[in-house]
Structure 1
């Protein structure tokens, strides 16, 4: 029993923590930052002001995680972010392909709890920053509302991934809110005069059908005149819910930090007013048996403060895909700006302008230019208002967070501050460490002399050569399709395809490539042909006169003709893909991007894949066959298709695919890393969308590793992850290892992007 006599005042229970790295903000960016640093041995304290992790992706807000893949609605092929965020998305798809936000919460909590170097403080708010001098943070104070403990946390390095930048703000870090003028950075999409309007907050609701009549009595605060107040109300329907109603947005003309509670109340008025109209107007009879299951209590924030680093990313970096020597991450979401009036605006809910490919994000954007030991993660990195419109999305923010976590490791190792990594020529070390984890950085390849595989002689039981994709499915050519093929420089091979028609007609074919190496926007036409189609079956052999100046993916484009049916194949091959001239209104894709004025973006067509179970390759024969899938590809240092598949692929006829690594002398092997194909083209939205499978069809499920004497080193069943890291209980001394793989299915051969040994 505790008895306490009355007193004048009491102090909070206080607990002091010292750590190597403090991360404030437990959204997806902060989570990936903390995990990356902790896995490199740093002691990390992760402070989150909410009861769960994930920020806008959590069950409190329920926004799907997206980045460069953009709902598969742009030309960014194989662009899902790698590293820890990939691991999380793959795990979520395996456990939770239906997209339950509550289950996603548990996955993030599991990932953090699995890291012994992370101390997690939930429901804990930072409210005070202490500095050892005007440029250096020494500690922060934070308060946990659930245990009434005040935490004083000191560290040499800090990361603010809090969304509103509470640490940066209190520390005096330079920041901005609003839009820069055209003149400041030469951004054509920026306004003529700078202004303070922002992207607003959103708040979602979930509904469900109970199977019996349900009445709804709206709260008194609900908005009454929905059809008059909300110009876009006509686009509502009774079946849509969650973040598909992302445009339920408000607050862009207010202070999106200090007016958040006011903005939340207005969004509540909107949500309950909308549901009242759906239930009680009589316009939606299908809603009679439906009820509200959940309404958000925490708005999802888009924009508030943006902090200044040594470089500010700008529109030209995105559209022109500028290169940076200090590149550590990439983006690929559109430049996506919203009207400041949000749901009450007469304008469309967003204005998305895509670039032709993914772009580099430089390290100089990820730390404060005036607070020496402060990193930034998430949506508050150093970017102009226009560039922020692309970098703000969660998968991009998480990818950036991983770079920050690794930079903290490098800085800690050298007792350096964030900016010191540039003049101390430590950038190559940072980039190398990131690449090792599977973090893709456009234009960079991992060169690791410590990797024993680089000195090994590589051989395989078979190597796939693309000579034929068999005839399996006949589909009407009612949308233009292009088969992407990875070719060596030089003459384009002959391609044969098979079509049927009931009438005499023609088929327009083009051979295209991208004007920029590494892009997948087919904006350069190399050759055009018109083929004659007669009634019945047609076998069409196409001889191309074109030659390629460099290795690249080519697009064999077949323009739509509803009178023609063309054969497709059930075979799915790593690094081989079909794309379609599709419309995807969710990301402002109407088949072609056509700016009506000079706003600094390009005009081009969209050629995008279809989601499985659709998206079949064309049934073709290729002569000579494409030998782009050799065993030597495991040495490339690139773990996804780029200008080539970058993978070893076995033949389907090989009943027991195996890869052998042989050295001149015995090697000591303690760790083996394998990178499998979990389809970087699939966006893996975390909630709401649902996915056709929980394991990607290209991913090897079962494998075993043996030493030079045939002894089993390791075996794995039911793999579904991209990166498999095998830390052996005891080091193996051998002059060779053999990796035996099982094909994922009868239509998909085993593939492997990389093997690394240490």
Structure 2
């Protein structure tokens, strides 16, 4: 039923939709837009905290008054809505930061610097908001460089307070770099790194800088052991007994079952998107792109081929030709845009329009002389990496997994290759042959009888896990069940049991989710607590 709303006298008045700056108009859906209600960037977020809070409350109540009583687009829909709660605790997006032994900059993110002391990572782009916030006439944010990046341990401890570490929005980064490191999950990973480092400080009676100088490898390996991901850093834990084992399995899946788009990053066509390449000159017959459709119907896409003045210069583009292609319902694979044109040597890019239900895969590794970009309503925004494409004719990668030596994607040995998840399109997992039924098993044979009391198992993902499985050891000439797990719901399990001695250990899976894979198995003989 209708719920009337009368704005308090102290609320700001927004009688017209035009009273809001671009991107700041209220919406009725929950989540994903409230961040545009920002204020305080021109003030002292500590000393002026109450002034900032009160102004935000005036804005919020004014926005609600506009939606309920004045907005021609929302008024009818909003009549049954009620404002039930507003937080009086303001979330600080940015405030004071501490200086560490290293100050991360936006260049470290744009260049994806692999620090030797990296202990966590992030995946959010550089997301800069204007200081005037809600009252800025420009766009609410400028977003760029949505890439994976590393965070060095030296940015997580103070350079001049010996026993002080930090994690979150106060770490040693520039204003621009904070636009990428400040998001919650990234901050949480920093917190795990700092918490683990604090344990190392106590264990070795040293300072955070001492951990960096003498124990950084141990810290990194401990974080990996605890399930963290550190970019391009493999498991090299000398205490992991599985690393010296010989691995075998009842079966493993052939490469043909591998779905490229299942592991490679994909971008929805929620913007216009483009891929640029160098053309040596001559006749270009077609450009193929790797697309995935989640639609229930076929859709016709128009690809526009443009020339460019140089690599990455998307905004200099001049239209050369257009081509139409059909993406079938549920299709996953290469889609050809035919051009059949003689083109002079130079840089060209193909762009596809914003289209609901269609995604474009990226290469696992960016080929030389390529670039990509996206566009909203304005200019093209160049980004790192590259969308998957093929030129016809041309010496272009035959698949998004270009550059890799032929490998067995689901070999049993993958469980001790050092990586506990899919990386750059490679699953890094053992997967049994899907044509065979359950049970399926994977065995580790040690060089000699070995004592252990802990096993770590990391599955491909939570949705690609084993549900029911046993852990078995070889004893008295036969396999003996050590423990059983039923109705598992987790991606990663750390299983402990009384110490046993055996030359072999086996994981037997009785029931699993579709496309189940085991990425890593670790075996330890942990000290008694």
Which TM-score band applies after superposition, normalised by the shorter structure?
A: 0.7 to 0.9
1:315 aligns with 2:106: yes
Q: Which residue of 1 aligns with 2:415?
A: 634
For residue 652 of structure 1, report the CA deviation from its aligned partner. Answer: 1.1
CA 229–592 in structure 1, closer or farther in 2 if over 3 Å, else same = closer
Show the 5 A alignment for 1:418-567: 418-423=208-213, 425-468=214-257, 483=261, 530=286, 561-565=324-328
C-alpha distance in structure 2 between counterparts of 1:579 and 1:242, whole Å: 23
Instruction: Give the conservation status (yes or no) of the 8 Å contact 1:703–1:716.
Output: yes
Q: Deviations over 1:654-704 (max 9, x none)?
A: 2122101122432212001111122xxxxxxxxxxxxxxxxx431222211
Q: SS at 2:85's partner residue?
A: strand
Q: SS at 1:711's partner residue?
A: strand
Show the 5 A alignment for 1:64-75: none
Structure 2's unaligned 5+ residue stretches are 265-273, 289-321, 334-357, 363-371, 389-398, 400-404, 525-529
Q: Which residue of 1 aligns with 2:473?
A: 707
Q: Which has the higher contact order (CA 8 A, sep 6+)?
A: 1
Q: Which residue of 1 aligns with 2:460?
A: 677
For residue 234 of structure 1, report the CA deviation from its aligned partner. Answer: 7.0
CA 734–525 in structure 1, closer or farther in 2 if over 3 Å, else same = farther
Q: SS at 1:701's partner residue?
A: strand
For residue 373 of structure 1, report the CA deviation from its aligned partner. Answer: 0.5
For residue 529 of structure 1, report the CA deviation from its aligned partner. Answer: 6.1
C-alpha distance in structure 2 between counterparts of 1:604 and 1:452, whole Å: 39
C-alpha distance in structure 2 between counterparts of 1:454 and 1:628, whole Å: 19
C-alpha distance in structure 2 between counterparts of 1:405 and 1:254, whole Å: 33
Q: Which residue of 1 aligns with 2:307?
A: none
Q: SS at 1:697's partner residue?
A: coil
Instruction: Give the conservation status (yes or no) of the 8 Å contact 2:165–2:194.
Output: yes
2:503 aligns with one of 735, 738, 741 = 735
C-alpha distance in structure 1 between counterparts of 2:453 and 2:25, whole Å: 58
Q: Which residue of 2 aligns with 1:757?
A: 523
Instruction: Give the conservation status (yes or no) of the 8 Å contact 1:742–1:750.
Output: no
Instruction: Give the conservation status (yes or no) of the 8 Å contact 1:377–1:401.
Output: yes
For residue 592 of structure 1, report the CA deviation from its aligned partner. Answer: 5.0
Q: Which residue of 1 aligns with 2:49?
A: 260
Show the 5 A alignment for 1:84-123: none
C-alpha distance in structure 2 between counterparts of 1:419 and 1:322, whole Å: 21
C-alpha distance in structure 1 between counterparts of 2:83 and 2:9, whole Å: 17
CA 336–435 in structure 1, closer or farther in 2 if over 3 Å, else same = same
CA 226–567 in structure 1, closer or farther in 2 if over 3 Å, else same = closer
C-alpha distance in structure 2 between counterparts of 1:219 and 1:244, whole Å: 24
Q: Which residue of 1 aligns with 2:367?
A: none
CA 485–412 in structure 1, closer or farther in 2 if over 3 Å, else same = closer
C-alpha distance in structure 1 between counterparts of 2:192 and 2:287, whole Å: 50
C-alpha distance in structure 2 between counterparts of 1:400 and 1:429, whole Å: 17
Q: Deviations over 1:320-365 (max 9, x none)?
A: 112221111112211111111111111111011115x312111111
CA 297–743 in structure 1, closer or farther in 2 if over 3 Å, else same = same
Q: SS at 1:735's partner residue?
A: strand
C-alpha distance in structure 2 between counterparts of 1:742 and 1:395, whole Å: 34
C-alpha distance in structure 2 between counterparts of 1:720 and 1:358, whole Å: 27
Q: SS at 1:389's partner residue?
A: helix
For residue 604 of structure 1, report the CA deviation from its aligned partner. Answer: 5.4
Instruction: Give the conservation status (yes or no) of the 8 Å contact 1:741–1:750.
Output: no
1:339 aligns with 2:130: yes
C-alpha distance in structure 2 between counterparts of 1:244 and 1:258, whole Å: 27
For residue 626 of structure 1, report the CA deviation from its aligned partner. Answer: 6.3
Q: Deviations over 1:358-402 (max 9, x none)?
A: 121111111111111100111100011111111111111111111
For residue 273 of structure 1, report the CA deviation from its aligned partner. Answer: 0.9
Q: Which residue of 1 aligns with 2:189?
A: 399
Instruction: Give the conservation status (yes or no) of the 8 Å contact 2:456–2:493.
Output: yes
Show the 5 A alignment for 1:50-449: 212-225=1-14, 227=16, 229-232=19-22, 235-237=25-27, 239-281=28-70, 283=72, 284-355=75-146, 357-423=147-213, 425-449=214-238
Instruction: Give the conservation status (yes or no) of the 8 Å contact 2:168–2:191.
Output: yes
Q: SS at 1:307's partner residue?
A: coil
CA 241–720 in structure 1, closer or farther in 2 if over 3 Å, else same = same
Instruction: Give the conservation status (yes or no) of the 8 Å contact 2:373–2:382.
Output: no
Instruction: Give the conservation status (yes or no) of the 8 Å contact 2:15–2:71.
Output: no
Instruction: Give the conservation status (yes or no) of the 8 Å contact 1:592–1:604.
Output: no
Q: Deviations over 1:185-243 (max 9, x none)?
A: xxxxxxxxxxxxxxxxxxxxxxxxxxx11111222221113546532377433x22344
C-alpha distance in structure 1 between counterparts of 2:164 and 2:92, whole Å: 22
C-alpha distance in structure 1 between counterparts of 2:192 and 2:136, whole Å: 37
Q: Which residue of 2 aligns with 1:181?
A: none
Q: Which residue of 1 aligns with 2:360?
A: 580
Q: Which residue of 1 aligns with 2:427?
A: 645
C-alpha distance in structure 2 between counterparts of 1:560 and 1:437, whole Å: 50
Query: More displaced, 717-726 or 394-403?
Result: 717-726
C-alpha distance in structure 2 between counterparts of 1:699 and 1:332, whole Å: 24
In the superposition, the TM-score normalised over structure 1's length comes to 0.52
C-alpha distance in structure 2 between counterparts of 1:446 and 1:639, whole Å: 9
Instruction: Give the conservation status (yes or no) of the 8 Å contact 1:226–1:274.
Output: no
2:494 aligns with one of 725, 740, 756 = 725
Q: SS at 2:219's partner residue?
A: helix
CA 717–430 in structure 1, closer or farther in 2 if over 3 Å, else same = same
Instruction: Give the conservation status (yes or no) of the 8 Å contact 2:429–2:517.
Output: yes
C-alpha distance in structure 1 between counterparts of 2:279 and 2:216, whole Å: 39
C-alpha distance in structure 2 between counterparts of 1:484 and 1:720, whole Å: 21
For residue 484 of structure 1, report the CA deviation from its aligned partner. Answer: 7.4
Instruction: Give the conservation status (yes or no) of the 8 Å contact 1:594–1:604.
Output: no
C-alpha distance in structure 2 between counterparts of 1:741 and 1:523, whole Å: 46
